[in-house]
């Protein structure tokens, strides 16, 4: 089968591999859609901390079942997505149902080869039924689930001001699920075009560009309280460190984004707020189910995010251009028959 391999940072090439064979309790998928994620772009750049090379990228996937090995409610021909986080099932995190942060986690397309290929084998227990959702939207369940998980971690209450820093697809997902939780959503980004998208397409009532006086704007918007929840979806060290100053007294700060360095913040400022700092890693089945339901009900429309579409044959050449903000990319989708 044909694959697109990231040989090393900056190098993508097409190659061939033997088609995988599903083992016990595994399912063989024909890959139909591959969403391109910031993680894929950062892997290509060499700035994502969990990558080794060579690696076949791609974890935002929709596929068609070719073969299920073992008993399952799924059948060949079913359209599905799946949780691309392959957990061990017995570590301390897995025993608590936190399979998203398994101590021995293998993320498909990160720690092990992913879906930039004709076929892929996945654990049958990770499959998520398509429930009539289109292939494009189905491939975007995973990035939306990351945002939904961050909002779940923050335990967002109705009426709370929630600041989401970073208006990429992950931040946009967090905004949408914060809005569904009844929050007053505030988006902060450097890119005015993306903020316009948040206002016009996602119904975000407040947006702030990074070059404004952010503290003053936040005070104005929140009546002096400041955001009860701050979500980082940038993975940018400066943005993350600034974010501590935006949190209300008694507030929560959730890091969805990831970067390679150490974080420094003022202990007295954090302490006087009795702040809560947490990371939010991947997502759980509960998050996937919530996203699938929200898409089925029309509460979120991930297809609005898709700005670029390419064939698998053209993906290798187009890939580097998506690193450039000037491309206007929000979400690129690789289409397959």
Q: CB-wise, 87 or 259, nearer to Zn ion?
A: 87
CB of 193 to Zn ion, least distance (A): 21
Q: Site for Zn ion (CB under 5 A): which residue of 61, 68, 94, 172?
A: 94
Site for Zn ion contains 102 (CB under 5 A): yes
Q: Which two tokens stand for residue 4?
A: 């697109």
Let me know how long the chain is. Answer: 337
Q: Is 81 in the site for Zn ion (CB under 5 A)?
A: no
Nearest distance, CB of residue 146 and Zn ion, angstroms: 7
Query: Buried (b) or exposed (e) across 133-164, using 16+ Cβ within 10 A?
Result: bebbbbbbbbbbbbbbbbbbbbebeeebbbbb
| 333 near Zn ion, judged by CB under 5 A | no
Of 102 and 240, nearer to Zn ion (C-beta) is: 102
Task: Give the list of residues 6+ apart from residue 37 with CB closer than 8 angstroms, or none.
Answer: 59, 60, 143, 169
Comparing CB distances to Zn ion, the nearer of 22 and 38 is 38
- If one asks whether residue 37 binds Zn ion (CB under 5 A), the answer comes out as yes
CA 300 to CA 287: how far, in whole Å? Answer: 14
| Number of residues in contact with Zn ion under rule CB under 5 A | 7
Per CB under 5 A, the segment of 82-90, 151-159, 179-187, 289-297 that binds Zn ion is 82-90
Looking at the Cβ atoms of 29 and 145, the one nearer to Zn ion is 145
Burial category of 249 from C-beta neighbours within 10 Å (exposed 0-12, middle 13-18, buried 19 and up): exposed
Site membership for Zn ion, residue 172 (CB under 5 A) = no
Give the count of beta carbons closer than 10 Å to the beta carbon of residue 20: 17
Instruction: Find the binding residues for Zn ion in span 223-282 (CB under 5 A).
Output: none
Euclidean distance between CA atoms 157 and 98, whole angstroms: 22
Binding residues vs Zn ion (CB under 5 A): 37, 39, 87-88, 91, 94, 102
């Amino acid at each position: 089968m044909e694959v697109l391999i990231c040989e090393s940072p900056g190098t993508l090439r097409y190659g061939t591999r033997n088609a995988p064979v599903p083992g016990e309790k595994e399912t063989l998928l024909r890959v139909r859609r591959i969403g391109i994620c910031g993680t894929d772009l950062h892997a290509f750049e060499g700035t994502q901390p969990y990558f080794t090379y060579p690696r076949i990228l791609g974890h935002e996937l929709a596929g068609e079942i070719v073969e299920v090995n073992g008993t399952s409610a799924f059948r060949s021909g079913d359209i599905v997505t799946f949780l691309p986080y392959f957990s061990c099932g017995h570590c301390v995190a897995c025993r608590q149902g936190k399979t998203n942060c398994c101590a021995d986690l293998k993320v498909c397309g990160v720690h092990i080869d992913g879906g930039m290929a004709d076929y892929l084998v996945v654990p049958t227990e990770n499959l998520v039924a398509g429930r009539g959702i289109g292939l494009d939207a189905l491939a975007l369940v995973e990035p939306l689930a990351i945002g939904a998980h961050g909002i779940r971690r923050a335990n967002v209450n109705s009426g709370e001001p929630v600041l989401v820093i970073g208006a990429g697809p992950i931040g946009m997902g967090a905004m949408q699920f914060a809005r569904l939780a009844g929050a007053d959503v505030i988006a902060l980004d450097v890119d005015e075009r993306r903020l316009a998208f948040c206002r016009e397409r996602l119904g975000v009532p407040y947006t702030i560009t990074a070059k404004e006086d952010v503290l003053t704007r936040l005070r104005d918007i929140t009546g002096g309280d400041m955001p009860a929840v701050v979500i980082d979806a940038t993975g940018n060290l400066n943005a993350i460190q600034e974010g501590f100053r935006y949190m209300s007294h008694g507030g929560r700060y959730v890091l969805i984004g990831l970067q390679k360095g150490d974080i420094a913040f003022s202990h007295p400022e954090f302490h006087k707020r009795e702040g809560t700092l947490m990371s939010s890693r991947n997502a759980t089945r509960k998050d996937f189910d919530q996203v699938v339901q929200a898409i089925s009900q029309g509460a979120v429309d991930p297809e609005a995010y898709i700005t670029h579409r390419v064939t698998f044959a053209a993906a290798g050449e187009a890939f580097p251009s998506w690193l450039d903000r000037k491309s206007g990319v929000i979400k690129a989708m690789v289409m397959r028959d």
